[in-house]
Amino acid sequence: MKQLKTLLLAVAITASGVLAASNEDKKADSVVITEEIGKLLKDPSFLVDKDIVADVTLTLNKNNEIVVLSVDSNELYVENFIKSRLNYKELPSTFSTKEKTFKVPVRVTAEEK
């Protein structure tokens, strides 16, 4: 019985280590995707007089391109801007993540005068 408890403890520790490692890979992928989205959304083509917040749900296709699934924003022009700038833009590196969709918060900040 004592050997069974020891074996279960060893399996639990191993499993938690594997989960922690895979979680760090997912975080690293999310950071790269977020940074690339930030670059693609720089310099909007419209005047920004107040900060605008939107939640973007996206996925990556087999060609490592961003496909925007939805944009949760109150402003239609922001939704169109995000979709036009992000849809089918290729990411610089490939991702081995099994994550199908990503939800990225986007903030378009007001221009300083």
- The 10 Å Cβ neighbour count of residue 30 is 16
- The 10 Å Cβ neighbour count of residue 33 is 20
Nearest to 86 by CA among 65, 72, 108: 65
12 has pLDDT over 50: no
What pLDDT, on a 0 to 100 scale, did the predictor assign at position 86? 92
Host H or E run for residue 104? strand 101-108
What pLDDT, on a 0 to 100 scale, did the predictor assign at position 9? 42
State the average pLDDT over residues 48-64.
86
State the average pLDDT over residues 61-82.
89
Tell me which CATH code domain 2-108 carries: 3.30.1150
Hey, where are the domains in the chain?
Answer: 2-108
pLDDT-based confidence at residue 25 (cuts at 50, 70, 90):
low
What pLDDT, on a 0 to 100 scale, did the predictor assign at position 83? 93
Q: What is the dihedral of CA 93, 94, 97, 101, to 10 degrees?
A: 80
